């Protein structure tokens, strides 16, 4: 069992958990993810290791409620424990060879982006960060990024904070002034990563995206996380989850993520007046 030592609400529908897992904390690196099964009947849900503390033996996850399973995770409280956590999975991201990098996050993407920025800065890179969200209250960890970044830009869809509009607007402005960067790292909704990659392709600027495909095992065993990267089929769990954004077939990924839409509706129906059920499920 993996005990929750701290829980915070970061934004509407977004929660941060610090979880006791000393063995995982000892091995975690920026770019790794975990798979969590909250209770016996739950799905195996992939989540990025957003931070870790080797001394305390804890790992951090940030979870956004998007469907039944992520809500079920977010219903857990301090002192309770998740049934299964397997990690570290995936490949750590290379952060050693960069001097200047732009890091872009959309919404919840800020959480998985954070360990990468931290690692880049640890290795001496100068990081410019662009955080985007629908509206001001949905921004997460702005303070953490402010501490680490050379420059921090904010964009919200409704203009309630920072520039009004998308992160790509800010990025375009930055690049048109100065494109002397080694790379862009973009994490967020598929559509946002695609837009960033399309933009940076014009500048011939290396772009790394982190894919949140559907997954089951996370160890290369099922192929459910298939993604076409530069004409080749890759498994996001063992070959990624980070890939060259200019090579990823985003259209295919967007279609694949709709695979279980009808099932999601069925779960919601099954749990109408669902609170009771959810508590029972624990």
Partner 1 sequence: MSKQSRTEMEELDPRVRVNNFAEVAQGYTPEQAVKEAKRCLQCADPKCMEGCPVQIDIPDFIELIAEEKFDAAAEKIKEKNNLPAICGRVCPQEDQCELKCVLESTGEPIAIGRLERFAANYGEDEVTKPVQDKGKVAVVGAGPAGLTAAADLAKMGYKVTVFESFHEAGGVLKYGIPEFRLPKEVVQEEIDQIKKLGVEIQLNKVVGKIKSVDELMEQEGYQAVFVGTGAGLPKFLGLEGENLNGVYSANEFLTRVNLMKAYKFPEYKTPVYVGNKVAVIGGGNVAMDAARTALRLGAEESMIVYRRSREQMPAREEEIEHAEEEGIQFQLLRNPTKILGNEDGFVTGLECIKMELGEPDDSGRRRPIAIEGSEFEMDADMVIMAIGQNPNPILLDDSPEIETTDWGTIKTDEVGQTTKEGVFAGGDIVTGAATVIEAMGAGKDAAEAIDEYIQSKDDN
Site map for partner 1, 52-71, x if CB under 8 A? ----------------xx--
Query: Could you tell me which of 90, 79, 75, 138 has the C-alpha nearest to residue 111?
Result: 138
Binding residues: 62-64, 222, 225, 237
Is 63 an interacting residue with respect to ligand FAD (CB under 6 A)? yes
Q: Select the binding partner of residue 266 from ligand FES, Mg ion, partner 1, none (C-beta < 5 to 8 A, by kind).
A: partner 1
**CA 280, 43, 257, 246 torsion: positive or negative?**
positive
Site map for Mg ion, 67-106, x if CB under 5 A? x-x-------------------------------------
Site map for ligand FAD, 91-120, x if CB under 6 A? -----------------x--xx--------
Quick one: CA torsion of 107, 18, 149, 116, rounded to 10 degrees? -80
Q: How far is the CB of 131 from partner 1 (least distance, A)?
A: 30
Cβ atoms within 10 Å of 85's Cβ, excluding its own: 21
- What spatial distance separates the first Cα and last Cα of the chain, rounded to whole Å? 13
Question: How would DSSP label each residue in 132-150?
Answer: EESSGGG---HHHHHHH-S
58 forms beta bridges with: 20, 53
Alpha-carbon span 176 to 233, nearest angstrom = 34
Residues of this chain that bind ligand FAD (CB under 6 A): 33, 43, 45-48, 62-64, 66-70, 108, 111-112, 212-215, 241, 257, 264
Residues of this chain that bind partner 1 (CB under 8 A): 23-24, 27, 37, 41-44, 68-69, 72, 83-89, 216-217, 219-224, 226-228, 233, 238, 252, 255-256, 258-260, 263-264, 266-267, 270-271
């Amino acid at each position: 069992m993996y005990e929750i030592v701290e829980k915070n609400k970061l934004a509407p529908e977004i929660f941060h958990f610090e979880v006791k897992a000393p063995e995982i904390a000892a091995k975690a690196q920026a770019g790794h993810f975990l798979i969590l099964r909250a209770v016996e009947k739950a799905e195996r849900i992939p989540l990025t290791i957003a931070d870790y503390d080797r001394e305390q033996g804890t790992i951090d996850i940030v979870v956004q409620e998007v469907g039944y399973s992520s809500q079920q995770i977010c219903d857990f409280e301090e002192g309770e424990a998740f049934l299964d956590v397997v990690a570290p999975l995936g490949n750590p991201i290379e952060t050693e060879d960069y001097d200047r990098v732009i890091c872009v996050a959309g919404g919840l993407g800020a959480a998985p982006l954070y360990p990468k920025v931290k690692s880049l800065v640890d290795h001496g890179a100068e990081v410019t960060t662009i955080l985007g969200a629908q509206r001001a209250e949905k921004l997460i960890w702005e303070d953490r990024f402010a501490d680490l970044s050379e420059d921090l830009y904010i964009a919200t869809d409704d203009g309630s904070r920072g520039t009004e509009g998308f992160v790509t607007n800010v990025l375009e402005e930055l690049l048109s002034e100065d494109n002397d960067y080694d790379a862009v790292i973009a994490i967020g909704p598929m559509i946002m990563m695609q837009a960033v990659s399309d933009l940076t392709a014009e500048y011939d600027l290396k772009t790394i995206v982190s894919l949140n495909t559907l997954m089951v095992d996370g160890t290369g065993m099922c192929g459910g996380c298939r993604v076409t990267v530069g004409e080749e089929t890759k498994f996001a769990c063992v070959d990624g989850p980070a890939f060259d954004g200019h090579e990823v077939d985003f259209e295919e990924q967007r279609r694949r993520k709709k695979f279980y839409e009808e099932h999601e509706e069925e779960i919601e129906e099954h749990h109408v007046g669902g609170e009771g059920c959810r508590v029972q499920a624990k």
